Structure 1
Amino acid sequence: MAHATCEINWLRYLLQDFQVNIQEPVVLHCDNQAALHIAANPVFHECTKHIELDCHLVREKIQSGMITAAYTPSSHQLADIFTKPLGRDSFNMIIRKLEF
């Protein structure tokens, strides 16, 4: 999530250079409920000291309104078609979702 947050931040600055102003927060979809909970809840940082900087970055951007984090189940991750070997049923389901 931290890497995606940095990319979102960079893209927002790039768009501002082109005079494209984005008012609403960017939705960051994640299939890891624990990561979403850690990013939203500062109490859990004690268990995650090794990723403390990443947590603070994501939490700061969520609180500032730059991004909103949303849970997306793994079964709805359309990018899986490009990154994972899929069975026939999963492949066909994603193909149907990609068709407009």
Structure 2
Amino acid sequence: MCSACCEIMWILNLLKELCIESVLPVKLFCDSQSAISIAFNPVFHERTKHFELDLHFLREKISAGIVVPEKVSSDDQLADLFTKGLNGLQHDTLCHKMGMLDAFTV
């Protein structure tokens, strides 16, 4: 989520330089409920020590109203199309949701 937040900030700065207004807050979809809970919870635990710096950045952007983490089910996570091996049905479903077309059937 921290890496995606950095990318969001880069895109927002680029849009600002191009004088294009952006709609805030930006929805940051995540399929991990525990990651969302850690992002909102200001209390650090032993298991969150190694990414403390990234977490401060993410929490700052959440509190500023720039990003809003939202839960998305694992079946609907579009990033899985690019990062995981999927079965044919799930691959076709995610491709359809992204608006992708099969070049051989068009």
Specify the TM-score bucket, using the shorter chain as the normaliser.
0.7 to 0.9
1:57-90, CA deviations, whole angstroms, 9 ceiling, x for partnerless residues?
1111000001100011110012322322111232
Partner of 1:56 in structure 2? 56
Aligned pair count reads 99
Q: 1:99 to 1:8 in 2, by over 3 A?
A: closer
| Alpha-carbon distance in 2 for matches of 1:97, 1:91 | 10
- What is the aligned-residue RMSD (CA, Å)? 1.7
Tell whether 2:37 aligns with 1:37.
Answer: yes
- Label 1:2 to 1:87 Cα distance change in 2 as closer, same or farther (>3 A): same
Could you tell me how far apart the structure 2 residues matched to 1:14 and 1:8 are?
10
Which structure 2 segments of 5+ residues have no match? 101-106
Distance apart, 1:93 and its partner CA = 2.8
Q: CA deviation at 1:94?
A: 2.3
Unaligned runs of 5+ in 1: none
Q: Percent identity?
A: 42
Code of the aligned partner of 1:80: D
Match for residue 45 of structure 2?
A: 46
After superposition, what is the alpha-carbon deviation per residue over 1:38-57, rounded to whole angstroms, capped at 9, x for unaligned? 101112x1231111111111
Structure ranking higher in helix proportion: 1
Following TM superposition, by how much is the alpha carbon of 1:10 offset from its aligned partner in structure 2, in angstroms? 1.1
Q: How does the TM-score come out when normalised to structure 1? A: 0.86
1:1-100 equivalences in 2 (<5 Å): 1-43=1-43, 45-47=44-46, 48-99=48-99
CA distance in 2, matches of 1:70, 1:84: 21
Question: How much has 1:99 moved relative to structure 2?
Answer: 4.4
